[in-house]
């Protein structure tokens, strides 16, 4: 199974030939300050249609801040986000971008089935999608339980299900593998691949092993700056480590 992910992952991803229509969204010059602390400094990058990009960085690098700024849940001090060359407003972002924060516990007193049904119906999904996600994420045993009574692992799975029920073309997931053991992480990766379809995903991940398995491209974020972007091979070359460098080696070289 592990081998499958490598085959589907970054080593087969061809980002370079994509033209302007392949661009899903571009972030230009994002700056965000909290008082004197610079959380983001001139962050710019482009996401391509259909890719799974990994936002990699140590704790406190500004990953969640960047995702919230992209979604519009935090105001940026400077910078724009555009889609197909056109800047998109705060209200417009709701139409093509869905952000799943890692610390949410929505409608915690309600039963998992009711919460999932609410988001399913809100996004106009049918019952088959619901069943498929419940099966894929092994949520059946907890459907009748309240969200706040679940273990961390189940809560994460419910949050992931909520994200995958969305229909937006760009999915921003904050730490989707946090709280999962190896087997669960592999299951989630499989599900993400299956549910990605023609969507683009930006995953904020701090576990490098998981990121290496699933992401096509990597955005390294360190102290609010992006020191490098590219496939693992490209990053290895940029770091002078060669094409066979691991993500861990690249990460240590850049941060």
Partner 1 sequence: MPLPKGSVCLRQARLLLQQEICGLLLAPALWIMLIILSLLVGYSFIQAVDLFSQASRTALSFPEMARGMNPLDGIFVPTFGAYYLAETLLLPFVAIRLIGTDKQSGALKLLLQLPFSPFSLCGLKITAMVLVWLLSLLPAAVVLLQWHLLGGHIFFPEVALLFTGHALYSLTIIAIAMFAATISGSLPTAAMFCLSITLGSWVLDFAATGQGGLLAIIGHFSLAGMLHQFENGLLTTGYVASFLSIALVFFLLSVVWLHPGKRLRNKLAASLLVVAVIASVPALSTFLPGYRDVSENRRHSLNPVDSHALAQLDKPLIITVHLNARDSRLLDLESDMLAKLRRIVPDLQIQYAVDNSTGLFSAGGDDKYGLIEYEYDGHHDESYSNSREEILSIIYKLAGITVVAEPVPNYPGYPLVADAGASRWLFYLVLPLLFLCGGLYSGKRL
99 lies in the binding site for partner 1 (CB under 8 A): yes
By CB under 8 A, the residues from 209 to 228 that bind partner 1 are none
For the bound state, the minimum distance from the C-beta of residue 41 to partner 1, rounded and expressed in Å, comes to 19
Question: Tokens 């419910």 identify what position?
Answer: 158
Q: Indicate which single residue of 25, 66, 162, 235 sits in contact with partner 1 (rule: CB under 8 A).
A: 162
CB count, 10 Å around CB of 40?
27
First to last CA, the chain: 31
Q: Strand 200-205 relative to strand 52-56: parallel, antiparallel, unpaired? A: parallel
Structure tokens at 201: 């995903």
d(CA 149, CA 155): 9
78 lies in the binding site for partner 1 (CB under 8 A): no
Q: Indicate which single residue of 75, 85, 86, 198 sits in contact with partner 1 (rule: CB under 8 A).
A: 75
Q: Indicate which single residue of 91, 198, 240, 244 sits in contact with partner 1 (rule: CB under 8 A).
A: 91
- Within 8 A by CB and 6+ apart from 164, the residues are 133, 171, 191, 192, 195
Report the largest interatomic distance among the alpha carbons of the chain, rounded to a whole angstrom. 53
167 lies in the binding site for partner 1 (CB under 8 A): no
30 lies in the binding site for partner 1 (CB under 8 A): no
Q: Indicate which single residue of 122, 140, 182, 252 sits in contact with partner 1 (rule: CB under 8 A).
A: 122
Contact residues: partner 1, CB under 8 A: 68, 71-75, 90-91, 94-95, 97-101, 103-111, 114, 118-119, 121-122, 124, 162
């Amino acid at each position: 199974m592990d081998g499958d992910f490598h085959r589907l992952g970054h080593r087969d991803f061809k980002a370079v030939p994509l033209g302007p229509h392949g661009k899903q969204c571009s972030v230009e010059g994002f700056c965000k300050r909290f008082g004197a602390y610079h959380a983001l400094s001139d962050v710019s990058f482009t996401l391509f249609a259909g890719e799974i990009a990994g936002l990699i960085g140590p704790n406190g690098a500004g990953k969640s801040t960047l995702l919230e700024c992209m979604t519009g849940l935090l105001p940026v001090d400077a910078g724009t986000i555009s889609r197909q060359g056109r800047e998109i407003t705060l209200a417009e972002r709701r139409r093509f971008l869905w952000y799943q924060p890692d610390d949410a516990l929505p409608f915690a007193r309600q039963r998992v089935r009711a919460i999932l049904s609410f988001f399913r119906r809100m996004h106009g999904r049918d019952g088959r999608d619901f069943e498929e996600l419940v099966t894929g994420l092994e949520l059946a045993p907890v459907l009748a339980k309240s969200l706040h009574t679940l273990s961390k692992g189940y809560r994460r799975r419910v949050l992931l299900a909520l994200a995958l029920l969305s229909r937006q073309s760009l999915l921003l997931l904050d730490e989707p593998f946090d709280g999962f053991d190896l087997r669960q992480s592999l299951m989630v990766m499989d599900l993400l691949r299956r549910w990605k379809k023609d969507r683009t995903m930006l995953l904020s991940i701090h576990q490098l092993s998981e990121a290496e398995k699933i992401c096509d491209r990597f955005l390294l974020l360190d102290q609010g700056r992006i020191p490098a972007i590219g496939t693992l091979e490209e990053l290895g070359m940029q770091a002078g480590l060669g094409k066979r460098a691991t993500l861990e080696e690249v990460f240590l070289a850049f941060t």
